[in-house]
Amino acid sequence: MEDNNLKNHNAEEQEITVERKLIELYTLQQVDSKIDKIRIIRGELPLEVQDLEDEIAGMETRITKFNEELEKFAKDIADYKNKIKEATSLIKKYEEQQNNVRNNREYESLTKEIEYQSLDIQLCEKRINDFTKKSEMLKISLSETNARLEERKGDLELKKGELSSIVEETEKEEQELMVRSQESEQLIEERLLTAYKRIRKNARNGLAVVKIERDACGGCYNKIPPQHQLDIRMHKKIIVCEYCGRILIDQDIVDMYHNESQD
């Protein structure tokens, strides 16, 4: 009689032990999932900040190039204006010389020089006109880029402020969760903890412990055979999904976790 009572007692102790393991595993999963969420939120913002910084750097480079082109256009326009002055001066000189020529050959030669300088003036004026139009278009682009740059700088300051605020708000929470995670890990045997971490590492969403939902695994959504569901509800052994390898629990374990969390 005493032997039977001892066996029953051992069986109950084993049941409680496995149940406790499942509760601790689910507790650890909940804590680790919260840490994951914090890191995901914080992980996206630095990328957004980096993208904005890269975009701003690109626009600043573009603005520098625009200004360099505008300076070149201004120099070219000034050079062509000087050429026009020189050509105009030469025309005046040649016209004066025509008044003192000794024969037709000299007159025709000076006339050709005047025509050549006149054509050169027309070419210079055309180039000045072209460069002036290009400068005006470039100034419009420069103005638009400057406006866009100021806008993106404003966005960057907002994102940096948001990131700083989130880091400040979540840093303490993350540290507290890390301590809770370590405390939960100490309550789980090494072999089981190693398996949990391996499953978490391979799982896309970091879920190693999942609840049965509508007769299916809460991780991969494959159907779980009725006998396996019964075994899971018995809490007598750790059962994993035969498809994805995640540790399976039932609603009772979830309820126990919530009841203990509220205490």
The pLDDT tens digits of the residues spanning 157-202 come to 998 888 888 877 777 778 888 888 888 888 788 888 999 999 998 8
Q: What structural domains and CATH numbers belong to the chain?
A: 41-176 (1.10.287.1490)
The least confident of 135-149, 175-189, 205-219, 220-234 is 175-189
| Rounded (10°) angle between helices 2-98 and 251-262 | 80
How many CB atoms are located within 10 Å of the residue 110 CB? Answer: 20
**Quick one: how far is CA 179 from the chain centroid?**
29
CA distance 92 to 85: 11
Q: In angstroms, what CA-CA distances link 162 with 40, 56, 157, 169, 176?
A: 15, 18, 8, 10, 22
Residue 61 tokens, joined:
């480079």
Identify which of 166, 150, 170 has the alpha carbon closest to the alpha carbon of residue 45. 166
Output the pTM of the full model: 0.52
| Each residue's pLDDT tens digit, 66-104 | 999 999 999 999 999 999 999 999 999 999 998 888 888
